[in-house]
Amino acid sequence: MTDMKLPPVTQIAVVSFALIVASGIWIVSHLPEHVPLGPSAILIAASALLVVTNVVLLLRVPDFEWGRFFAVAKWALLAYCVIAGMLEWVFIKDGTRGGELAVLTLSLVIFAVHVPLLMGYTVARYPETYD
């Protein structure tokens, strides 16, 4: 598989993360006052679209090592769900409510999905076995 052309999963993920960070900066720059959520919602939607794009691109790769992918991604997903859950608890404990909490929660969901996807992809793209 290393000879075949693989989709730009890593590059797309970096753009997705940049959109998440920009959304977070937008929210934090307006706190503790009212936060206009339109720009953040647009950035989150674009980031989510990039996550879906990455999944679709991976599904179209012939002979992709899905076994290796899931062997890594499932444990990474578990770890990142715990991390995202702790961050969500901090947001709630800090008094974040309403739209701001919804946008931050969506950011955490994208984060918790995209990082394991990247980790699984990184391992599965090199299918050589070591006996």
Spatial separation of the C-alpha atoms in residues 84 and 57, rounded to whole Å:
25
- pLDDT tens-digit map of 61-88: 988 899 999 999 999 999 999 999 999 9
Q: Is the dihedral of CA 60, 63, 66, 68 positive or negative?
A: negative
User: Where does the pLDDT of residue 131 fall: very low under 50, low under 70, confident under 90, or very high at 90 and above?
Assistant: very low
Spatial separation of the C-alpha atoms in residues 86 and 80, rounded to whole Å:
10
Model pTM score: 0.86
- pLDDT tens-digit map of 16-69: 999 999 998 998 888 778 889 999 999 999 999 999 999 999 999 988 899 999
At 112, list the tokens.
């918790």
Spatial separation of the C-alpha atoms in residues 33 and 94, rounded to whole Å:
15
Amino acid making up residue 22: A
Q: DSSP per residue over 90-115, as a string?
A: HHHHTT--HHHHHHHHHHHHHHHHHH
Amino acid making up residue 29: S
CB 19 within 8 A of CB 43: yes
